[in-house]
Amino acid sequence: MLILSPSILSADFANLGRDVAKTAAAGAEYIHIDVMDGQFVPNISFGIPVIKAIRPVTDKVFDVHLMIDEPVRFIKEFVDAGADMITVHAEACKHLHRTVQVIKSYGIKAGVVLNPATPLSAVEEILPEVDMVLLMSVNPGFGGQKYIETTTDKVRRLRRMISERNLSVDIEVDGGVTPDNVAMLIEAGANIFVAGSAVYKGSVEENVKGFLEVFKKYE
């Protein structure tokens, strides 16, 4: 299944609940929530109180991407706030396997994120334990960046790695994804797509529709 996960980092913060509701009504299945701590990435976004505040707005999947050092410290709080899926960076965890186990112990999905320069070998041992691998196609920390072209081949190699092991693992791509390049990523093997500026710049409804029209060609 092909899934759009709009990143609310690019939404109107003064009207965040409204934008989340608009995104859900337009047909996006996931809501991507980028949590930044100013340490792992050079920016601070929002945290647990904001997630709690927007949780009543929709029953769509909250896809919570933790760009924070040692995220294992806060897993319970994010689950309590309403996360349906938590992804953590391999680069930010001293004990990645333990962190994934903690996430799954709460009955939600667990994913691992790799930065553009991090090789796929970083998830080789954890792959059977996760529900999703998120490949960053920009360097994390800021919205509106240009897609890093080498990500496409990385997606292709990851899909092959998953298939060779007969695993059921989603591949999510985050950064510079637009209706113009999403077909290329689908063909490479990705099935969940994070889009920020491409959804929230202009009409949310029209932008979501643009992605979903591309998806229909592959379903």
pLDDT in tens, 34-74: 999 999 999 999 999 999 999 999 999 999 999 999 999 99
What's the pLDDT at 73? Answer: 97
What's the pLDDT at 7? Answer: 97
What's the pLDDT at 157? Answer: 98
What's the pLDDT at 179? Answer: 96
Active-site annotation holder among 19, 34, 37, 170: 34
Cα separation of 103 and 110, whole Å? 6
**pTM, to two decimals:** 0.96
Two tokens, residue 28: 């996006």
What's the pLDDT at 140? Answer: 85
What's the pLDDT at 197? Answer: 93
Q: Is 180 a known active-site residue?
A: no
Summary mean pLDDT of the chain? 96
Q: Is 174 a known active-site residue?
A: yes
Cα separation of 177 and 90, whole Å? 22
Active-site annotation holder among 19, 63, 170, 174: 174
What's the pLDDT at 146? Answer: 87
Q: If 0-12 CB within 10 Å is exposed, 13-18 middle and 19+ buried, where does residue 53 land?
A: middle
Question: Residue 96 in contact with residue 70, Cβ under 8 Å?
Answer: no
The per-residue pLDDT for range 71-120, each reduced to its tens digit, is 999 999 999 999 999 999 999 999 999 999 999 999 999 999 999 999 99
- Reported as a pLDDT band with limits 50, 70 and 90, residue 219 is confident
The per-residue pLDDT for range 133-189, each reduced to its tens digit, is 999 999 987 767 789 999 999 999 999 999 999 999 999 999 999 999 999 999 999
What's the pLDDT at 30? Answer: 98
Cα separation of 66 and 172, whole Å? 14
CA atoms within 13 A on the CB side of 3: 20
Question: Residue 155 in contact with residue 188, Cβ under 8 Å?
Answer: yes
Helix %, strand %, coil % of the chain (to 5): 45, 20, 35
What's the pLDDT at 145? Answer: 78
